[in-house]
Chains A and B, each alone.
Chain A
């Protein structure tokens, strides 16, 4: 096994366990590269990558761009706000126009679930999904698992609880797929209103008591309340949400073990996580960001090697 089973990274759902292991092994090497004084390798010098973002992003976009540049790819950036999309151009037209400038790979974030899959069927380029609506965010899930593996040695057998807005979270769905594929046990925790119906069918358990979930788990992945996606009121007040589902130092100290705290960012300090927890040594939040570059380098390198 030395190559990915897929041509595009559209979601974790389409990956096999050995794909994830290959990505992690490759990321190990890139992590060594990005800690050198010269952090760049020439592998992708004849590859051009377009980062197409139809939705706001800070860290994912920067992380992808840095990963691409560390691999010596040529990079073009495109944000929907400044584009002809506002003039009525369709997605396929937009992307085909970009591809006619000889682009080999497209990294796309889009508000509609399935946008990446749709695109992969209609254009001739390798597609990397950087988040499609409330569907999947595969590179985030990969870097989350990679960070767990780095901290705890392995993902298999570990107990992970994902806390927060599961209903609107692409990070939650991709994480569930990735963790289950690697043999971890997963619980989701949050208000009933923010729990998708039939979530148990993915092989996860629902827990509505945060304390019980924390007592059970090795790792807690704290998600942000996606205010921009909340069309109706799912819980009475933010303050009440924080009281029931926010982690703070006192709660963690009352447990008889050290739970690893993760967060995909951006953090709403004082809502789902307090500052003292976010900045504590239990938290691997900044490690996740560093690993994000290595993981994205690995994904892009492995996908690019299939472009002939």
Chain B
């Protein structure tokens, strides 16, 4: 197994600021917009973006939720392991809101497909956008593309993109791991 650094802490920070600005450009004061981090690892991106928007760009209030997609996945009973759920925490309705789904890595698009189904349990959004920190090109199984992307990466199927966060893993860094 070998790994190389895809993005350093400094690069991640610059990208997060750019993504925050792009969100700001389209959603202004976030009064009609909610951010939904997809569990388990999209929540870190959602938290970081919220912090930047509030602390550095003066957005007063943003509704942020976490969505677990386990029970909506299409690979139930198809792997060796039982799919284990994580917490869903959405304390508001998404009815008529603009929803921005947020995940760390976009790969096959199947998680996003599940998230699109799952979010409907919380109302009918007026529109849904997708933000991903890493977009793995040429690996999609479904016609799903992000509206906001941090960095596009060419990685073969045997490779894995791993996003680490200071609050969870000790440092901000993104690795490309060759298994």
Residues of A within 8 A of B (CB): 2-4, 26, 29, 32-33, 36-38, 40-44, 46, 71, 301-302, 304-308
Binds A, one of B27-35, B49-57, B78-86: B78-86
Q: Which residues of A contact B118 (CB under 8 A)?
A: 41
Q: Which residues of A contact B85 (CB under 8 A)?
A: 26, 29
A98 to chain B, nearest CB (A): 21
B17 to chain A, nearest CB (A): 33
Q: Is the CB of A2 within 8 A of B121?
A: no
Q: Which residue of chain A has its CB nearest to the CB of B90? A: A36
Q: Which residue of chain B has its CB nearest to the CB of A29? A: B85
Q: Is the CB of B82 within 8 A of A306?
A: yes
Is B88 on the interface with A (CB-CB < 8 A)? yes
How many angstroms from the CA of A306 to the CA of B71 in the assembled complex?
15
Most buried by A among B72, B76, B82, B122: B82
Q: Is the CB of B81 within 8 A of A308?
A: no
Give per-residue flags for B105-118: 1 if the beta carbon is below 8 A from chain A beta carbons, else 0: 00000000000011
Residues of B within 8 A of A (CB): 68, 70-73, 76-77, 81-88, 93, 117-118, 120-123
Q: Is the CB of B76 within 8 A of A38?
A: no
How many angstroms from the CA of A307 to the CA of B77 in the assembled complex?
7
B143 to chain A, nearest CB (A): 20
Given A42-B71, A42-B72, A308-B77: A37 in contact with B84 (beta carbons within 8 A) = no
Q: Is the CB of B122 within 8 A of A36?
A: yes
Partner of B82, one of A3, A29, A37, A42: A3
Q: Is the CB of B71 within 8 A of A43?
A: yes
How many angstroms from the CA of A52 to the CA of B85 in the assembled complex?
29
Q: Is the CB of A305 within 8 A of B71?
A: no
A-B pairs, 4 with minimum CB distance: A41-B71, A3-B82, A38-B121, A29-B85
Given A305-B76, A307-B77, A308-B77: A37 in contact with B122 (beta carbons within 8 A) = yes
Q: Which residues of A contact B93 (CB under 8 A)?
A: 37
How many angstroms from the CA of A44 to the CA of B88 in the assembled complex?
19
B141 to chain A, nearest CB (A): 18
Q: Which residues of B contact A301 (CB under 8 A)?
A: 71
Q: Which residues of A contact B76 (CB under 8 A)?
A: 43-44, 304-305
Question: Beyond the given A305-B76, A305-B83, could you list 11 further A-B residue pairs with CB under 8 A, ordered by the A residue number?
Answer: A2-B82, A29-B71, A29-B85, A32-B88, A33-B71, A37-B93, A37-B121, A37-B122, A41-B71, A41-B118, A43-B73
How many angstroms from the CA of A302 to the CA of B85 in the assembled complex?
11
Q: Is the CB of A36 within 8 A of B83?
A: no
How many angstroms from the CA of A117 to the CA of B115 in the assembled complex?
39
Q: Is the CB of A305 within 8 A of B82?
A: yes
Given A2-B82, A29-B68, A38-B121: A305 in contact with B87 (beta carbons within 8 A) = no
Q: Which residues of B contact A46 (CB under 8 A)?
A: 77
How many angstroms from the CA of A41 to the CA of B82 in the assembled complex?
16
B73 to chain A, nearest CB (A): 8
Q: Is the CB of A29 within 8 A of B88?
A: yes
Q: Is the CB of A36 within 8 A of B68?
A: no
B160 to chain A, nearest CB (A): 20
How many angstroms from the CA of A71 to the CA of B76 in the assembled complex?
12
Q: Which residues of A contact B73 (CB under 8 A)?
A: 43
How many angstroms from the CA of A305 to the CA of B117 in the assembled complex?
20
Q: Is the CB of B122 within 8 A of A2?
A: no
B92 to chain A, nearest CB (A): 12
Q: Is the CB of A2 within 8 A of B117?
A: no
26 CB contacts below 8 A, A to B, read A2-B81, A2-B82, A2-B84, A3-B81, A26-B85, A29-B70, A32-B87, A33-B121, A36-B121, A37-B123, A40-B121, A41-B71, A41-B118, A42-B71, A42-B72, A42-B117, A44-B76, A46-B77, A71-B71, A304-B76, A304-B77, A305-B76, A305-B82, A305-B83, A307-B77, A308-B77
How many angstroms from the CA of A87 to the CA of B136 in the assembled complex?
63
B68 to chain A, nearest CB (A): 7
Q: Which residues of B contact A43 (CB under 8 A)?
A: 70-73, 76
Q: Is the CB of B72 within 8 A of A29?
A: no
